[in-house]
Structure 1
Amino acid sequence: MNSPSGPSVPTSAWSDYSHYYQGSGYAKFPQEHRRPKGRLAFRMILVEQGPHDFFDPSFTETILALPLEVERDCNWGWRIGDYRHRQKLHAGQMLVVPSETESKWDVDGNRKILVLAVPNETVRSILGPACPRHISGAFWKLCEHTWADPFIEVLMNRLWESTAGDEIAHDYLADGLLTSILSQLLILAGTELQPNTAIALPQWRLKRVKEFVDSNLGSEISLEHLAAAAGLSRRHFARSFYQELGKTPHRWLMQERLEKAKKLLAGSNASICEIAENCGFSSQSHFTTTLKQATGMTPHRWRQHFRP
C-alpha cells in the first residue's frame, strides 16, 4: 500500500505543530496540515517525528492516529485519562484519543504518522439523533490498546489524498470517507447507537438565537442576551444549549464570529480591522490570535489562500 509521503504544498504552507505537542519534550517536526472544503469539518496532519514526550490538553475532537512508517524497536507509551500503557510500535497499529480527554505520550524512536481530528459537531452532524450524548465514551475502547484495521487504513490514506483535490467531487468523496471511518470506528468500539428523541433545546428556540446573533454579530453579546433570545433563564439556556449542541454558548458564538469573518476575508475587500469590528472581535489582534489558533493561519494568509 502506498502511504502519503512528502509535502504536496509549498514549505511555507507547513505550520507549527504546537497545537498538539506541548510540554517538556516538545520539539518541532516536519509536517503538513490539511483541511477539507466539503460539508464536514475535520483536519488531518502528516508528521515525521523523532523521540519525544509531551502532554496534550483535552480537545473537543476525536483523534485517530495511524503510524505509517516506524523505526525498528520504536516504543511508545501513553496515558489517556486513567489508562496507562506502553508497547512496541508497529506501522498500521492505530489508536484513538477520545474527545475532551487529556493524554500524555512518550516515543523513543522515529516514525511518520497520519492524524485525523474530527470535531464533536461533525460527529453530531453525521450521526444525527442517534449521536451519543457523551461522544468520548463512544470511542473509549479504542484508546485502551493499539489495533489494526486494513479497511480504515485504506480509508485514511484515501481521505488524505482527497483533501488535496480541487474538484467538487473530491469534497463529496471526503465527506463519504469520513462518514465511513467514523462508522467503522463505532463498530470496532462496540458502540450501539440508539435514536435519541429527547430534545434539550427545540429548533425554534435555536433559530431565534441564531437570528439574534446574525443581526448583532458586530456587538458585544452576553450569555444573558442569548438566553433572552431563546426565551429561557440564563442557567437553563446554558445547560440545554450544551446538551443539544455539545459546546458552550460562548464557544459556539466565537465559532459564528470566525465563520462570518472567514467569509468576509475570502469574499470582500474590507480591511482586516473592519472585519474584526464587524464580526464582534474586541480588536484586530484578538481576531488574528483567534483565527490562528483555530486554523493555523493569520487573516492575511487566509485571504491569500481562499480568495477566488
Structure 2
Amino acid sequence: MRTEITHVDPAYRTYADFYMRSAYGAFPQQHRHIQGSMRSSLILVEQSRHEFVDPAVDELVVSTPLDAACSYDWNMGSGWTSGQSRTGDLIIVPPGTDSRWRAGGDRRLIILAIPTALVSQLLGPDCPADLAATFAPLGGSSGNDAFVNAVLRRLWENSGEDEPINRSLADRLVEALVCHLVMRAGTVTPKLAPGPFSLREWRKLEDYVDAHLHRDILLLDLADIVGWSVRHFSRMFRQATGKTPHDWIVAKRVGRSKDLLGKEKLSLAEIALCCGFADQSHFTTSFRKATGMTPLRWRRGRV
C-alpha cells in the first residue's frame, strides 16, 4: 500500500534538504544516510535559541535531544504546547504536517527522516491510509523514550560504516523503530516478523508463497529469498515459528482453499489444483488434518 501525502511543500524534496537550505542551515550540523537498503536521512545538529516554521514533507521525522535543558514549544495546527526539552525525549513530526517550533536555549539533537514509502513498505497490509493521523498522537514531544534514544544513537554510529553487517543492522533498527512508534501511538497493531527474520524478509517470504501456492514451492527458493542455506533456513524457520516450512505452506494452501470453498463455484478438484495440492485426495487429506472435517462438509457448513 502506498500512503499518499497530498499537501507536501514542493520546494523541498526531503527534510534534510529543507534543513540545509533554510534558517536551520546556520546551525552546526552533520548529515548522513543510513547504510542499508532502507534509505533514510540522519541529521546531527547543535541548535540555539530560535523560532522556525517547518514545512510538510513526505517523511516521518523522528528526533531525540542528546543534550538539552531548555524551554520548548511547538504548534502543529492546534495551538501552542509548552514544555521542557530534555535529553532522551521523543519528538515526532507526522508525515505531511506543517509545524512551528520555539526553543528557549541550546540543545543537540539526532534527527531521522523516514520516507513514507518505506513506512508503508514496513507495515505492509497493516499500513493505514492516513499516516499523518496514525502518528498524530505522538506529534510534538511525547516525553522520555529510552528505546528511541538508543536506536537513533546507534543508527548514527552505524551510519559511518558501510559493511554488510552494518547495513543489515541498520535495516533492522529502522524496522524496530517504526513498529515501536506505531504501537506507542496506539492506532495500529502491526504484524511482527517471527524470530530471526526481519519484517522485510518475512513479507518477501509471504508474498512469494502467496503468489506461488498453485505451484510446487521449493525450500531452496525460500532460502534464497533471505540469503541463507537450506539447512540454516529450515532450522531458523522451525525455531522462529514452531513449524516446518512445509507445514507453513500447507497451512497457507488450506487457508486459500477455504476462501475458494466459501466464495467460488469451483469443484473440489479445481480448488485442489488452484491451491497446489497434488490432487483432490491430497487436498481432502490435508484439509481434514488441519480442520477436522472434509472440504465438502466445510463448504456445506458455510452455506
TM-score (norm 2): 0.55
1:46-88: CA deviation from partner (whole Å, max 9, x where unpaired): 0001111111110000111100001x4x111111132420112
- Contact 2:65/2:108 (CA < 8 Å) preserved in 1? yes
Contact 1:17 1:28 in 2 (8 A): no
Superposition deviation, residue 17 in structure 1: 6.6
> Counterpart in 2 of 1:148?
144
In 1, Cα distance between equivalents of 2:112 and 2:90:
11
| Fraction of identical pairs, as percent | 33
* CA offset digits 1:198-240 (Å, max 9, x no partner): xxxxxxxxxxxxxxxxxxxxxxxxxxxxxxxxxxxxxxxxxxx
Cα shift at 1:91: 0.8
**How far off is 1:151 after superposition?**
1.7
CA–CA distance in 2 between the matches of 1:81 and 1:21? 24
C-alpha change, 1:107 and 1:22, in structure 2 (3 Å) is farther
**Structure index of larger Rg:** 2
For residues 99 and 162 of structure 1, do their structure 2 counterparts lie closer, same or farther at Cα, with a shift above 3 Å needed? same
SS in 1 for 2:92: strand
Q: How many residues align?
A: 177
- 1:282-301 deviations in whole A, cap 9, x for unaligned? xxxxxxxxxxxxxxxxxxxx
Which residue does the alignment assign to 1:19? 18
Q: Give CA-to-partner distance per residue, 1:12-70, whole Å, 9 cap, x none.
A: xxxx97713787x6561111111123211211100001111111110000111100001
- 1:228 counterpart residue number: none
CA RMSD of aligned residues (A): 2.2
Residues 142, 83 of structure 1: CA spacing in aligned structure 2 closer, same or farther, 3 A cutoff?
Answer: farther
Work out the CA distance in 2 between the residues paired with 1:183 and 1:87: 26
Alignment of 1:276-287 (within 5 A): none
How far off its partner does 1:136 sit? 1.1
8 Å CA contact 2:71–2:84 kept in 1: the answer is: yes
Long gaps (5+) in structure 2: 1-14, 192-303
Query: Residue 221 of structure 2 aligns with which residue?
Result: none
Unaligned runs of 5+ residues in structure 1 are 1-15, 196-308
Letter in 2 for 1:185: L
User: Aligned ranges for residues 219-298 of structure 1 at < 5 Å?
Assistant: none
**Partners of 1:63 and 1:117 within 8 A in 2:** yes
- Stretches of 4+ moved more than 3 A in 1? none
1:185 to 181, 184, 187: 181
Q: Which residue number in structure 2 is paired with residue 127 of structure 1?
A: 123
Instruction: Identify if the C-alpha distance between structure 1 residues 18 and 176 changes in structure 2 by more than 3 Å, giving closer, same or farther.
Output: closer
Aligned with 2:86: secondary structure? coil
Deviation at 1:104, TM superposition (A): 0.7
